[in-house]
Structures are given as C-alpha cells and as structure tokens.
Amino acid sequence: MTGVGARQAGSMSYREAMREAMREALAADDRVFLMGEDVGRYGGAFGVSLGLVEEFGPERVRDTPLSESGFVGAGIGAAIAGLRPIVEVMTVNFSLLALDQILNNAATLLHMSGGQVAVPLVIRMTTGAGRQLAAQHSHSLEAFYAHIPGIRVLAPATVADARWMLAPALADPDPVIVFEHGSLYNGTDSTADEPGPVDLGSAVVRRPGADLSLITYGGSLGKALTAAEQLAAQDEVDAEVVDLRSLRPLDDATVIGSVRRTHRAVIVDEGWRTGGLSAEVAARITEQAFYDLDAPVERVCGAEVPVPYAAQLEQAALPQVPDIVAAALRAVG
C-alpha cells in the first residue's frame, strides 16, 4: 500500500475499508474508475479516496465540477459503454440534484430496452446526521432510493461490510447505491481485513436474543447494540439486533424469522417516520407475522424536522439509546 492514504497495520477504519475496497477494484480491473467532487487531489470530502489519484492517476480518479446531474449522468453513460464507474456524491442531500439521472435513466434503461442496456454503476454517498453539518448535509433519505425498482440499495454498518461490499456491487449488472453514514468513518475493526463472502441481499443478526427484535441499519446499528446491552444488564431483556444491510431488496426472511422467534419488534431508523423505511419494515412484519406478534410494532425514528445545526437540538432530533430502550420496554410490557 502506498500514498498519503496509507494506514497502520492491525486496525482498519471504516474510511480505510472503503478506500481499500476501491484500491482493490481499481487494481483488479482497468474498466473501474472513480469520479466525483474533490475525489482526486483533495482525497474526497471525507478523505475516503485519499492517495488514490497518486497511485492510479487522474484518468482513473477524476475530479468533477459541482454538477451532480452531470457527473452521475456521465457515470451512467460510461457504464453503458462497458466501463465500471464508481461515482461519489458528497452527501445524500446533493444526490437529489441527480435524482432524475438515477430514477429516469440508471434504474429504468434495462427495463425500457427489453434487457439490452444494462447500467452496472456504483454510486457512493454519505448520509446521516450527528456531526453538526446542518440540514442540507445531514438527512437520511435512503427511503427515497429504496422506493425505486431497478436499483440495489446498500447500507454497510460495519467496517467489514464497508471493506467487502464494493466488489460484489461492482459485479452487479444493475445500478447499486451505497450509503455510508458519516458517523461511521472513524470507527475501527481489527478483523475487517479478513476476506469473507458478502451476500448483498442478506440481513444479518448482529446479536442473538429471545425477547424482542431491534431492527435497524447503517449509523443506528451501534445505538441498537448499546441499547441491547443496557436492556440485558438493567432490565433482563434479551434483545436480538438485526442489521438490514440491504435496504432494497429487503431480506424479509431474516427479519420475519427474527420476529417469529422473539414475538416483538422495535425498528430504529434515523430517517423520518412518515413514509420511511421503518414504515415499510413494519408493514411487512404485520403482513407476514401478525399472528406471531405479542405486542404492537414500535418505531424509533428521527424527528419530523429538518436536522438542526445546534448540537443539543440535533441530538434531540435523532434516535438515541434511551429512546430505543424505552420503546423496547414498552414492547415487552
């Protein structure tokens, strides 16, 4: 490993895991290139691509103008032409400027062409709040994209998933959107270098339990795991924690299997409650496991406001561990 983005051996951060995944992809396949605002000499808005331009050159790590629709559209064209672009969008808020390209072109061309025009494109973007970046840089709009047929939506919550999800995403013939929660970039894991197969369509039980299911994804996984430990220590409630990992398609089998074991469900989603992913997961549980439930499905979501800048207000607007614990205790009665 070379360049200013080199990391220390023995431990890998989420940021470094994404960088390693991109480095491996760039080295393995000449068709792969990275494109986005400041991804080259600056190393990306969050330092994820630091050092890659020095290693692979500006033809394969390409800085773009501040024009999300333009460079996402260019990525779609490159994918159609046979390349394997990785397009970085600074935050999910700005991706709305490219929503027309994603929805009306990337997601639809394979279907509108009768299977003749595939768009094997990966779009990475930061999502989520908690860093005082104010409303236009902090929202969780994953549900917007999970609503769209024709694309795959991933939310790696662990360093290992950040390290190993990119390769199968690049191999997917359909467009794949990868949501990286901004609070995860500095998290580390000493085992993430260990290769492991990643099934892009599967949720994972991160903590087994018997009394209720805490179902979440992305930046909320750590809070759910902390809440589960508190519940076990203080209230003798054994919570199972399910990491969705894939937001489209949702892994119904793992979610429903967990609820059928525990008979109670709490869904934790940093996004807005109305029309959000938590609503979709709750609907599927009631459709498929209604008679297995011993209590109504609980939801812990972000407040229905633009994410505030002020630290106290921002924290108050987000799901927190005490909120999850309280919902879990309501569920178990």
At residue 300, what is the residue type?
Answer: V
> Can you tell me the mean pLDDT for 191-202?
82
Residue-wise pLDDT for 209-219, tens only, equals: 999 999 999 99
Catalytic residue among 16, 20, 88, 137: 137
Using CB atoms within 10 Å of the CB of residue 41, give its burial: 0 to 12 exposed, 13 to 18 middle, 19+ buried.
exposed
Model confidence at 7, pLDDT cuts 50, 70, 90, reads low
- pTM equals 0.94
Separation CA 287–CA 259 (nearest Å): 12
Model confidence at 4, pLDDT cuts 50, 70, 90, reads very low
> Can you tell me the mean pLDDT for 65-76?
97
Residue 3 predicted with pLDDT over 90: no
What percentage of the chain exceeds 90 in pLDDT?
A: 91
User: What pLDDT sits at residue 8?
Assistant: 53
User: What pLDDT sits at residue 1?
Assistant: 37
Q: Give alpha helix (H) positions in the chain.
A: 14-28, 52-56, 68-80, 92-95, 99-100, 109-112, 142-146, 159-164, 166-171, 221-230, 252-262, 277-289, 311-317, 321-332
Mean pLDDT over all residues of the chain? 95
* DSSP assignments along 274-298, one per residue: TTSHHHHHHHHHHHHHGGG-SSPPE
DSSP count for the chain of H helices, then E strands: 14, 14
| Structure-token pair, residue 291 | 């008679």
Give every strand in the sheet of 239-243, ordered side by side. Answer: 204-207, 239-243, 212-216, 265-272, 298-302
User: What pLDDT sits at residue 36?
Assistant: 97
Residue-wise pLDDT for 221-265, tens only, equals: 999 999 999 999 999 999 999 999 999 999 999 999 999 999 999
Separation CA 241–CA 258 (nearest Å): 9
What percentage of the chain exceeds 70 in pLDDT?
A: 96
Is residue 68 annotated as a catalytic residue, yes or no?
Answer: yes
* DSSP assignments along 63-95, one per residue: E--S-HHHHHHHHHHHHHTT-EEEEEEEEHHHH
Residue 195 predicted with pLDDT over 80: no
- Region for residue 210 given its phi and psi (left: phi exceeds 0; alpha: psi -120 to 50; beta: otherwise): alpha
Model confidence at 9, pLDDT cuts 50, 70, 90, reads low
Model confidence at 168, pLDDT cuts 50, 70, 90, reads very high
Question: What are the distances in angstroms from CA 131 to CA 12, 140, 183, 308?
Answer: 21, 13, 7, 11
Catalytic residue among 68, 88, 180, 314: 68
Is residue 111 annotated as a catalytic residue, yes or no?
Answer: no
| Structure-token pair, residue 65 | 């103008």
User: What pLDDT sits at residue 5?
Assistant: 45
